[in-house]
Structure 1
């Protein structure tokens, strides 16, 4: 079986609201992951669709799915289709764009989700690969862009290069395998790191790692 799928249920799809595991369930997950990049509720959500997503998003419920994910709703929430009305009631501006250019990450079901809260701006570019599974390939924080080399789960944090060694030591001692890593420079003292992990971290390990870094996000 393809390494992206661990069981037949990953291919059939999850329990969900909506017509499509790729265009609805996967879209909810993309929105949920985007919501982790901003500490506060966004004032504006911008969704840029590419290729298949750009052609079918309205009919397949991708719009309400991504917005519901940003609002941290579960994919099986019966109120999922009401997320567009809810975001309007909350006063959050929503902009949806159908782009003609090819996917920047070479997948037909691609969306870039950009969130702003008036002070900070964060974005992710990801795709829905079927069965309610997603991949995230690019993150943007203000003027900084980080390409992701591995698959989820991903540990995202900022620290010095010296502190990175302590984070890696902590992971190794707890039998957590790093399958890929990348970074971008934030300033003279800190980098933004993305580590793809073989398994999701337990809560106590997350707390231990927080001793060495800032802005820890588990995607």
Structure 2
């Protein structure tokens, strides 16, 4: 592996990750602050490794993961996110990621993950089993049953975005987003759409 793409909208995070990658011997390091920039670089350059955040302007990291999985780009993906691995690690693994590192960890974990992926291994955290209370367990099961698109829309709604703004961002009609919102209320068992934010915050989705 010689080339790498860092996808994160925070310059300080990109700078810190870049230092780790330079220590690991990467010579060509590309940077993207949005989904659009990331996809543009992937189309134009041969990239061996992608360091991917899940929350960014212009879309989300899960969408980038799906695009890479269905494309002919021969790059590996290491997810580096502030989102709780309890709810996102398995989803990223299923979407083709080779590693998941939470930003709450020391950068040494990022370095170890890069080393693992470069040698053909995966790098995922060992998640706690049975440590959640019954409510958390049942809510995690509901979250796991959501599609990537449903989960993304839930996160956008929980951040206070309007149906119109979400539709423009995800190239969906206002009516389609409204349908997703209704479906989320039903699937997650909340009383009304206004409670989706509480559900998302309680489960560390935002």
TM-score normalized with structure 1 length = 0.32
- Whichever structure has more strand as a proportion of its residues is 1
- Whichever structure has more helix as a proportion of its residues is 2
TM-score normalized with structure 2 length = 0.33
